[in-house]
């Protein structure tokens, strides 16, 4: 990896930094200060903290270069956080070309928006999306079961957004590229090992790369996770198949910014109206037996369209009209979660995002937790002197929060797959339970802990951090 030509810079800034102490002045990046603070032998400008230098201890972390496996959402977010912390990284993506077309749409909740803002990437990342603040829940008979917040709106106006995964992917990659971060495609990780305090990664194309640390941002079926712990549990199948699409020219009774969720007799359906009139929809189809890896790819669009319209034929609402009017190909994927991974890291390797803790899409938190992870890991590597200590602090801070979100989403998944008497009981209880959920959970302390979570980039990470909500 290319080192910073400004060798005297304590932050190892990428190229643009001009470090000098002429006439008692220091210049760090675009910051100019007349006061010099000496920490651990380095001369630091008193002002904007130079990246890569631990504030409290005055020592730089040993990790100066990072290999990032996976270029989805977590990968570029992690690369930008490391860049902000003064650590060089390269993203190695398994797909041979940019994967803009992979995935349908997702939600970035208020806490995810806040984390993007820390990376100065919130505006470009969310530009193609729209705010979604509410959920209205319906039974398959057309009965309104209640309403809840899709994402709490914070006191500063921050709220959740819905956007196409392809748009978020493109925006994050563009932002990473603007910071000089390189992405190499067609690099599927085959193996990795630690040699003399460095990580050597080998890819299936027989090439290699070396760095100080390896960060697994490679999703639910992570290769890095299996390298860290060959006995790690496999992702759990949630009993649902997920599909989605986009439709124009179909009128629905909905206002932009509100999700409508329908607990149908045989499957679950949701949709939202975008401000431009396009309807974004998804379906969760119960399937008790887990499909073999890649088996769903053999099912064509016409078969899925027929199957879905049959599943929703007896339900009230626009599901069948939206499915029939969808012109593009339909792609299905099984829903997997990673409820509890015993080992997140070794001394030089770590997994974050879905590779460490994959919630179901029901949570609306998958992307947000991954971006939070990226920011927190950048802070830990910046502030703690060794990667093993940084990784341990990261896990101590992040594990309780991630696992709490996963457990809550799992309870909702069980309701989606309900059939027979369980479905009748669910529909009877939902009007009673949902208002209580809104009052005490969504709008109460748990909701504030979830959506109001903020990672203060300027506050140093202590050597032995306590857990955060």
Long-range contacts at 46-52 (CB < 8 A, ≥ 24 apart): 49/458, 50/9, 50/10, 50/11, 50/13, 50/17, 50/86, 51/11, 51/12, 51/13, 51/83, 51/84, 51/85, 51/86, 51/87, 51/382, 52/10, 52/11, 52/12, 52/13, 52/85, 52/86, 52/87, 52/382
Phi, psi of 210, deg, nearest 5? -130, 140
Mean of pLDDT values over 182-210: 97
3-state secondary structure of 69: strand
| Range of weakest confidence among 158-162, 190-194, 410-414 | 410-414
342 exposed, middle or buried (CB, 10 Å; 0-12, 13-18, 19+)?
Answer: exposed
pLDDT at 13: 43
458, pLDDT greater than 50:
yes
pLDDT at 313: 97
Q: What is the pLDDT of residues 84-133, one digit of tens each?
A: 999 999 999 999 887 665 568 999 999 999 999 999 999 999 999 999 98
| Range of weakest confidence among 8-17, 217-226, 401-410 | 8-17
pLDDT at 46: 30
pLDDT at 58: 39
pLDDT at 148: 76
What is residue 356's DSSP assignment?
A: T
Q: b/e for 377-416, b at 16 or more Cβ within 10 A?
A: bbbbbbbbbbbbbbbbbbbebbbebbbebbebbbeebebb
Q: What is the pLDDT of residues 119-177, one digit of tens each?
A: 999 999 999 999 998 889 998 999 888 887 777 777 788 899 999 999 999 999 999 99
- Confidence grade of residue 9 (pLDDT, cut at 50, 70, 90): very low
Q: b/e for 308-330, b at 16 or more Cβ within 10 A?
A: beebbeebebbbbbbbeebeeeb
- Sign (positive or negative) of CA dihedral 170, 175, 178, 180: negative
Q: What percent of the chain has pLDDT over 70?
A: 77
Mean of pLDDT values over 184-201: 97
Q: How many whole angstroms separate alpha carbon 85 and alpha carbon 80?
A: 9
Mean of all residue pLDDT scores within the chain: 83
Considering only residues 424 and 396, tell me which one the structure prediction assigns the higher pLDDT.
396
What is 65-451's CATH topology? FAD/NAD(P)-binding domain (3.50.50)
409, pLDDT greater than 90:
no
pLDDT at 225: 98
Q: Does residue 233 contact residue 262 with C-beta atoms inside 8 Å?
A: no
Q: At what angle do helices 165-178 and 74-84 cross, to 10 degrees?
A: 30
Q: Where are the domains of the chain?
A: 1-60, 65-451
Q: What percent of the chain has pLDDT over 90?
A: 64
Q: How many whole angstroms separate alpha carbon 79 and alpha carbon 178?
A: 12
pLDDT at 193: 97
pTM: 0.82
Mean of pLDDT values over 395-413: 85
- Confidence grade of residue 433 (pLDDT, cut at 50, 70, 90): low
Could you give the residue ranges of the DSSP H alpha helices within 284-345?
301-311, 319-325
Q: What is the pLDDT of residues 12-62, one digit of tens each?
A: 444 434 333 333 333 333 333 323 232 332 333 333 344 444 344 334 447
Q: What is the pLDDT of residues 301-357, one digit of tens each?
A: 999 999 999 999 999 999 999 999 999 999 999 999 998 999 999 999 999 999 999
pLDDT at 421: 65
Mean of pLDDT values over 272-280: 95
């Amino acid at each position: 990896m290319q080192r910073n030509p400004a060798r005297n810079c304590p932050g190892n800034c990428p190229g643009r930094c001009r470090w000098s102490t002429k006439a008692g002045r220091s210049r760090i990046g675009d910051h100019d200060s007349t006061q010099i603070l000496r920490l651990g032998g380095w001369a630091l400008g008193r002002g904007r903290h130079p990246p890569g230098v631990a504030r409290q201890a005055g020592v730089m972390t040993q990790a100066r270069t990072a290999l990032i496996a996976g270029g989805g959402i977590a990968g570029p977010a992690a690369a930008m956080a490391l860049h902000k912390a003064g650590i060089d990284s390269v993203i190695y993506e398994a797909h041979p070309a940019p994967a803009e077309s992979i995935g349908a749409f997702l939600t970035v909740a208020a806490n995810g928006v806040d984390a993007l803002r820390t990376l100065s990437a919130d505006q470009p990342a969310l530009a193609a999306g729209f705010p979604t603040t509410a959920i209205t829940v319906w039974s398959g008979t057309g009965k309104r079961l209640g309403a809840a917040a899709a994402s709490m709106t914070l006191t500063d106006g921050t709220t959740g957004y819905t956007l196409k995964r392809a748009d978020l992917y493109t925006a994050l990659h563009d932002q990473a590229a603007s910071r000089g971060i390189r992405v190499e495609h067609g690099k599927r990780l085959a193996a990795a090992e630690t040699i003399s305090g460095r990580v050597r990664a080998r890819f299936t194309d027989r090439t290699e790369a070396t760095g100080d640390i390896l960060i697994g941002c490679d999703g639910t079926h992570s290769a890095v996770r299996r390298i860290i712990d060959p006995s790690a549990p496999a992702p759990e199948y949630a009993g649902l198949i997920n599909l989605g699409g986009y439709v124009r020219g179909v009128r629905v009774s909905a206002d932009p910014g509100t999700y409508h969720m329908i607990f149908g007799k045989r499957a679950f359906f949701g949709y939202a109206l975008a401000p431009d009139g396009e309807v974004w929809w998804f379906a969760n189809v119960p399937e008790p037996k887990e499909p073999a890896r890649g088996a769903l790819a053999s099912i064509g669009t016409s078969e899925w369209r027929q199957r879905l319209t049959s599943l929703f034929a007896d339900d009230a609402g626009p599901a069948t009209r939206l499915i029939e009017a969808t012109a593009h190909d339909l792609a299905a994927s099984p829903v997997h979660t990673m409820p509890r991974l015993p080992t997140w890291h070794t001394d030089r390797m770590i997994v974050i995002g879905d590779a460490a803790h994959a919630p179901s899409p029901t949570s609306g938190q998958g992307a947000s937790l991954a971006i939070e992870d990226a920011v927190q890991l950048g802070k830990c590597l910046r502030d703690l002197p060794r990667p093993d200590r940084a990784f341990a602090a990261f896990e101590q801070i992040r594990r309780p929060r991630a696992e709490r979100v996963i457990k809550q989403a799992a309870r909702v998944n069980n309701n989606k797959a309900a059939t027979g008497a369980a479905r009748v009981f669910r529909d009877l209880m939902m009007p009673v339970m949902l208002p209580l959920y809104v009052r005490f959970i969504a709008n109460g302390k748990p909701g504030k802990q979830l959506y109001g979570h903020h990672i203060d980039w300027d506050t140093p990470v202590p050597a032995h951090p306590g857990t955060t909500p």
